[in-house]
């Protein structure tokens, strides 16, 4: 068992010994943040996860003008109340995530293995305490608290989006501007994301070698499946891997990819670059650029401005369900660990539900159904 002197992030490891600080409070606070960062790095959390957490702790310090060993539940409540006010109040899910982060930090300070309570008592006569507890935290009462305006696209909206993306290259060339070639690439990117239900970062990281034959579906040639090697990872875990199979309803993507790889990508002069989606400067297409491609096509199509790129993933899950694929198959295709997560993404149409209802009534009423 690790003692306080050995645990990553312990006070003894980050506080310089035999050093007397003229102003001890800022030095101890800085050491606390460094120690917490070490603890999280030891858990293999990513820097992009750790940095926003540390910034939130600094925001609470700036708001209260108090140090962590002085914080009280009242300070935490005032902080959240302030965030809820103003012209851009935080969402409930955001407030909860802030409360969780602060709680993780105070639990770290109170853990005897790290020795921070002892240091604070010795130097300041106070010890850290819980800021958020069951009585003043946002309760998690529903599975999904995301923006209700985020939804799957209808089939007509998907077609309008793709038509707008296909029209952009000709319009750009007609205006005598550069960018026609990249617009052709962007149209292929959006169609492929919908056809395989991938996230933006997953799509950016796909290489040519990740497109593979499926021996059970040779008619799709070299595009029977897509290996996703950089799937969304859990905290402290490596990226998840999965293989997404090409389904018959999306087999049009075979022609899309063949045209892009054979006719568009070579003109981008990718050389030996392994990425499927490359830029004119022979780099990998960034997730942000994929977002921008979606926004441009969405605006040209006149679609709801609340729709974003991730809505194509919602659409893929919904449409696969409406095509009749089992829930487990859909879950595996999109790489969700839990069926409940897949269900959250789903927004089947009234027509689909009425079809299920009609089938259920026919099964129950038999010949009497025709008289209803």
pLDDT digits (tens, 9 = 90+) for 242-268: 999 999 999 999 999 999 999 999 999
Mean pLDDT, the chain, rounded, equals: 88
Beta strands per DSSP E along the chain: 211-212, 225-231, 240-245
Strand 225-231's sheet: what is its strand order? 211-212, 225-231, 240-245
315 burial (CB, 10 Å; 0-12 / 13-18 / 19+) is buried
| 45 contacts 101 by C-beta, under 8 angstroms | no
**141 contacts: CB under 8 Å, gap ≥ 6:** none
Check residue 141 and give its pLDDT.
43
Instruction: Report CA Rg, the chain.
Output: 27
Beta strands per DSSP E along 91-239: 211-212, 225-231
Chain centre to alpha carbon of residue 2: 35
Q: What is the spatial distance between Cα 316 and Cα 321, in angstroms, rounded to a whole number?
A: 9
Check residue 147 and give its pLDDT.
61
Instruction: Compute how many other C-beta atoms are within 10 angstroms of the C-beta atom of residue 367.
Output: 7
Coarse DSSP helix, strand, coil percentages of the chain, rounded to the nearest 5 percent: 60, 5, 35
CA atoms within 13 A on the CB side of 305: 1
Q: What percent of the chain has pLDDT over 70?
A: 86
Check residue 213 and give its pLDDT.
97
Q: What is the spatial distance between Cα 313 and Cα 146, in angstroms, rounded to a whole number?
A: 15
- The string of DSSP codes covering 16-80 is PTT---SSHHHHHHHHHHHHHHHHHHHTT--HHHHHHHHHHHHHHHHHHT--GGG--HHHHHHHH
Check residue 215 and give its pLDDT.
94
Query: Per-residue confidence at 20, pLDDT binned at 50, 70, 90?
Result: low
pLDDT digits (tens, 9 = 90+) for 109-123: 999 999 999 999 999
Domains of the chain: 11-124 (no CATH), 156-306 (1.10.443.10)
Decide if pLDDT at 183 tops 70.
yes
Closest CA to 307 of 295, 316, 318, 296: 295
Q: Average the pLDDT over 176-182 and give the result.
A: 92
Check residue 136 and give its pLDDT.
85
Q: What percent of the chain has pLDDT over 90?
A: 70
Check residue 142 and give its pLDDT.
46
pTM as predicted: 0.72
346 or 84: which leads in pLDDT: 84
Decide if pLDDT at 270 tops 70.
yes
Closest CA to 252 of 199, 205, 183, 187: 187
Decide if pLDDT at 202 tops 70.
yes
């Amino acid at each position: 068992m690790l003692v306080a002197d050995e645990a990553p992030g312990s006070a003894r490891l980050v506080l310089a010994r035999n050093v007397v600080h003229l102003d001890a409070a800022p030095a101890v606070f800085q050491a606390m943040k460094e120690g917490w960062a070490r603890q999280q790095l030891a858990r293999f959390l990513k820097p992009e996860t750790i940095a926003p957490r540390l910034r939130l702790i600094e925001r609470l310090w700036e708001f209260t003008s108090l140090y962590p060993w002085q914080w009280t539940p009242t300070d935490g409540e005032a902080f959240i109340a302030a965030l809820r006010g103003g012209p851009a109040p935080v969402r409930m899910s955001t407030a909860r995530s802030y409360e969780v982060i602060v709680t993780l930090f105070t639990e770290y300070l109170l853990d005897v293995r790290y020795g921070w309570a002892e240091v604070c008592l010795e130097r300041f006569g106070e010890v850290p305490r819980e800021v958020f507890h069951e009585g003043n935290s946002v309760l998690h009462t529903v599975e999904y608290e995301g923006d209700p305006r985020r939804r799957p696209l209808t089939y007509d909206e998907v077609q309008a989006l793709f038509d707008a993306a296909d029209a952009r290259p000709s319009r750009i060339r007609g205006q005598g501007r550069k960018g026609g070639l990249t617009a052709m690439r962007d149209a292929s990117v959006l169609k492929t994301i919908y056809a395989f239900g991938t996230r933006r970062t997953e799509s950016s990281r796909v290489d040519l070698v990740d497109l593979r034959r499926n021996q059970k579906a040779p008619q799709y040639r070299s595009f029977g499946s897509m290996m996703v090697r950089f799937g969304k990872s859990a905290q402290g875990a490596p990226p998840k891997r999965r293989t997404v199979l090409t389904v018959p309803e999306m087999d049009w993507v075979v022609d899309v990819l063949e045209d892009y790889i054979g006719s568009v990508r070579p003109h981008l002069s990718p050389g030996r670059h392994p990425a499927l989606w490359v830029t004119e400067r022979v780099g990998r297409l960034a997730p942000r650029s994929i977002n921008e491609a979606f926004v441009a096509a969405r605006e040209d199509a006149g679609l709801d401005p609340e729709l974003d790129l991730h809505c194509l993933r919602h659409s893929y899950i919904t449409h696969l369900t409406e095509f009749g694929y089992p829930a487990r198959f859909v879950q595996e295709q999109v790489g969700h660990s839990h069926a409940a997560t897949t269900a959250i993404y789903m927004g089947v149409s009234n027509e689909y539900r009425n079809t299920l209802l009609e089938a259920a009534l026919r099964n129950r009423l038999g010949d009497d159904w025709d008289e209803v």
